[in-house]
Amino acid sequence: MSEGTISAILLAAGESRRMGSPKPLLAWQGVTLIEYQITQLREAGVNDVIAVLGHHADDFLPLVTTSGARAVVNERYREGRASSLRAGAAAAEGAKTVVILSVDQPRPAAVTRRLLTEHTSGITVPSHHGRRGHPVVLDGSLLPELREVSEATQGLRAVIARHAAEVRDVPFDSPTVLLDLNTPADYQRAIARDNP
């Protein structure tokens, strides 16, 4: 892993429509999901966690700051995830390595730490039985592209597709790298499995 700043862009600006309640405030391992994510990212070796907020940003700001992260408010969050990725990438100026994760994808520090350890250049993604998951780790040289993503061009997917030859898959035995909490049923299943 290169020396220098490792920034994480934690996307937490959405309206949580399918969940029906704000995802950042969901209980996860004794804290809120946003606090859990920030703590785990920092424990994994990320020096700079950028939480991109939007919907109900004021409700989450205190949790972000007390957890040791920076908050960026995306006023255009209704335009979609790509607008938040652009806002986060703009705030990650000078980062050598960038980790991208959504707040509804709880990941223990061990997952991100392993990805950072195995990341040498380009793009590094976790996979489980051939399916790619999150977080995605990118070289800082790709930040200019991240600042230009749009919903119309599929955002982060387009960046990964453009650099397909530089993508390294890191296989994980655990399906944790695929966990995504989109609906109340997803959340209840994850809690029932006690899936960290």
Q: Over 80: is that where the pLDDT of 5 sits?
A: yes
Longest Cα separation, the chain: 41
Given a cut of 60, is residue 128 above it in pLDDT?
yes
Domains of the chain: 6-193 (3.90.550.10)
Tell me 105's DSSP state: S
**Res 1: pLDDT:** 35
Provide the pLDDT for residue 98. Answer: 97
Cα→Cα distances 45→7, 112, 173, 194, Å = 10, 8, 22, 24
The DSSP-derived string for 21-84 is S-GGGSEETTEEHHHHHHHHHHHTT-SEEEEEEBTBHHHHHHHHHHTT-EEEE-TTGGG-HHHH
pLDDT at residue 6 in the model: 96
Please state the pTM of the whole predicted model: 0.93
Mean pLDDT calculated for residue range 101-120: 96
CB 5 within 8 A of CB 47: yes
User: In the structure, what pLDDT confidence band is assigned to residue 47 with cuts at 50, 70 and 90?
Assistant: very high
CB contact set of 21 (below 8 Å; sequence gap of 6+) = none
pLDDT-derived band of residue 194, with 50, 70 and 90 as boundaries? low
pLDDT of residue 16: 85
CA atoms 67, 72, 75, 76: torsion sign: negative
- The β-bridge partners of 49 are 8
Report the C-alpha gap between 142 and 144 in whole angstroms.
6
Asked if the model's pLDDT at residue 3 lies above 60, the reply is: no
* Residue 20, pLDDT score: 81
Q: Indicate whether 195 pLDDT > 60.
A: no
pLDDT tens across 8-33, in order? 999 999 888 888 888 999 999 999 99
Per-residue pLDDT tens over the stretch 55-100: 989 999 999 999 999 999 999 888 888 999 999 999 999 999 999 9
Residue 2 confidence (pLDDT): 39
Q: How far apart are the first and last CA of the chain?
A: 25
3-state secondary structure of 12: strand
Read off the pLDDT of residues 143-175 as tens digits, 9 standing for 90 and up.
999 999 887 777 898 899 999 999 999 999 999
